[in-house]
Amino acid sequence: MTKKKIVSCLCFAVILLGCSRVNQNGPESIIWNGVSEDETASFPFGNGEVAGNVWAEKDGIYMYLARNDCFSELGRLLKTGELKLSIDSCMLNNDCVQKLDLENGIIEITSPKLNIKVFADSQFPVIWIHGHLNTPSNVTIEPIIWRDSPHMIAEGEKHSAYNLHRYPGDFPFPESADKVFNFNDCAGFFHHNDTSTYEFTLKNNHLTSIGVQDPISNRTFGAMFQGSNLVQTEEGILKSTTPVSEFTVKVAVTSYPDCSPEDWKAKTFSVFSESDEPDNAEIRTKAYWNEIWERSYLRISTPDTVTGKKITDFYNCQRWITLCAGKSFYPLKFNGSLFTPSPEKAKDDTDFSPDYRPWGECFWWQNTRLPYFPMLKTGDWETIRGLVAFYDSLMPAFKEQARVYYGTEGAIIPETITQFGTFAASDYYIGNEEIGAANMYTRHIFQDPLELIHMMMDCYRYSGDEKFLRDEIIPMSEEFLDFFISYAKIDSLGKMRLRNTQSLETYWYGVENDLPSIAGLHTVVKDFTTLSDTLISASLAEKIDYLKKFLPDIPVVTDEQGNKMFSPAEKFDPKTCNAENPEMMMIFPFELCNFTSEDIDIGRRSFENRKFKRYKGWAPDGQLAARLGLTDEAKKDLLLKMEGQNKAFRFPGYFGPYDWIPDQDHGGNFMITLQDMVMQAYDGKVYLLPAFPKDWNVQFRMAVPGNAYVWGNYVGGKWTDKPMSDKKNIEIVF
């Protein structure tokens, strides 16, 4: 080889080495030495559609599989199932290393005897397992079936089937057993729904046709797997016939509504031909995750070094958890997402299977929204649009319930909804002969659609996606605003009056013009008033003009010293029935009051005098403090939130149990609080470090309105360089 060629090869090698880590601010890998005792030391993983947990025990590698659409006959979100990989000559021990490479989306389990890679294909509902063995060994992959017989929900387990948990006596809907099978050169298992709660729920809730199809009846879900050098032996099991030194297993994890088991097998088998080779899958999966971590990052360091690393790890791991589960048609589950453990492993006093989750299968808006808010600043807008698409698909049900329950036009979102958009039967009350939900905690919560409109408009402001605005935001918003315009009456002062309402779950009685609804309407008016006339429909413009004319002022109360504070409602009985602070919705999520506002003193006084103070679970106190510019309070809340890590679990970000493990409300609030401490954006300006401790350091790149990103590096009390944006028209205040 000539000298010139040698130099060229060396230069090419240097280029390759330099590109091996594109993002120097990417997340650090999570590495554990030794084997796990059980799933409490497992790695969550996924591609947004297919997810699960992986961990290595002495006798093999275990894997939970999960999707957001594996609904049982009761509507419960079940695990898809569990797999075990056994290698007969390779008992694992403390020389084993388990590693989650967050930046590349790959799990590796290594020892002196083997190297196993596991990852979810970024493009297909497929999980890949690739193994290299130093000593040729026999390999087996098999399902672990715990749903091996029809299951009747036990009395203490009813809370996991929230739609029916007040049902008197035994549920009339048994959950069917899973079945194993062999098919062509594959093996696998499936669950098929023989019944459905859909018709029962509609009838109980005084509904006939809601225009949304039954997503439960005849649904079939499960997993099918095939492997190189592996053949069928027993039903549902693949084994090597002779010792192998290398193997690949490809697992398709699917769920189809209104599908027979035989059709499910054919559809799932076709996934194998659509997806390609493992090397290509690994390359595109690494590229997919690299782009995510390059798009946005946030790294904290503190004087003690340990705290900053923990904050950074919790932030990165919570983002990983949400993106691993958040890109399917159905929303993230606040009560454990797709990574729920068995109650025994969660140190709970129940002994049910990993399918158990308290608060059940329904989507609770106040909880569901919290993991999505951080996606605005991380730039993960596609996932927010998935949430919007789900609620948009339920619009016929929302319109029908507005008509039947309230006699109005437009649409209303119940606070707790089934997969088909109705009140849970348990919230309507089973056997309730009156029209309208009977559960006072959620009966007349009205502001949910206004929050959804504001989240959609934030997503539009950040992404600049005019098609999203035109095709989804404006039509949905018109339906929601029609409800408020037709429901509210105009009082003697010429202002809208919302009666027969409530202020979150806290104030039930004598409530008129609850602050969440009034603040939400003011926010929506502001959202659409800022749009160009060319972007808004004539009919929506008329609704906004109507609201401008008749909207009442934000409810405010004056104390004995003459100090003003935001009030839960214009009128209300002060008896409290839960522990939420509805007046704080002025600050989050509606952003009408913040540290740049003229009414900042009212906001801070309201925060200081709020009735309920907490940092766990769904409570938004951290971002409230950050948005009010209260650095010490925001820092305190953030550090307390980190103590919410469940000590029984090894993976950072397994918070809870508050609503269950890992608690996605707690994790979402942790991310929002940290983001707001570092950066906030209002009225065309981006404010840096509005509630950030001056003795902490931060490197960040986050999205801001205008389809833009801002980045900076704050070290030792000063900026190493002037903070920058990729758009020239972004005004940065620092």
Q: 665: burial class by Cβ within 10 Å (0-12, 13-18, 19+)?
A: buried
Which of the 8 DSSP states describes residue 645? B
Cβ atoms of residues 497 and 553 within 8 Å: no
pLDDT in tens, 26-82: 899 999 999 999 999 999 999 999 999 999 999 999 999 999 999 999 999 999 999
Q: Which domains does the chain have, with CATH numbers?
A: 28-295 (2.70.98.50), 297-355+614-734 (no CATH)
Cis geometry, peptide bond prior to residue 662 (ω within 30 degrees of 0): yes
pTM: 0.95
Task: Report how far residue 66's alpha carbon sits from residue 47's, in angstroms, rounded to the nearest whole number.
Answer: 11
**For residue 171, what pLDDT is reported?**
86
Task: Report how far residue 518's alpha carbon sits from residue 387's, in angstroms, rounded to the nearest whole number.
Answer: 24
Statement: residue 472 has pLDDT above 50 = yes
Percentage of the residues of the chain whose pLDDT score is greater than 90 = 91
Angle formed at CA 608 by CA 602 and CA 612, multiple of 5 degrees: 120
Which of the 8 DSSP states describes residue 178? P
pLDDT in tens, 112-160: 999 999 999 999 999 999 999 999 999 999 999 999 999 999 888 899 9
Task: Report how far residue 660's alpha carbon sits from residue 258's, in angstroms, rounded to the nearest whole number.
Answer: 30
Backbone angles phi, psi at 303, to 5 degrees: -55, -35
3-state class (DSSP) for residue 20: coil
**pLDDT band at residue 23 using 50, 70 and 90 as cut-offs:** low
If we measure between CA atoms, which residue out of 725, 718, 680 comes closest to residue 698?
A: 718
Task: Report how far residue 186's alpha carbon sits from residue 171's, in angstroms, rounded to the nearest whole number.
Answer: 36
pLDDT in tens, 298-356: 999 999 999 999 999 999 999 999 999 999 999 999 999 999 998 888 877 677 889 99
Instruction: Quote the tokens at residue 271.
Output: 């996934």
Q: 440: burial class by Cβ within 10 Å (0-12, 13-18, 19+)?
A: middle
Q: 310: burial class by Cβ within 10 Å (0-12, 13-18, 19+)?
A: middle
Please tell me the number of Cα atoms within 13 Å of 659 on its side-chain side.
Answer: 26
Distance between start and end Cα atoms, the chain? 56
Angle formed at CA 332 by CA 191 and CA 440, multiple of 5 degrees: 100
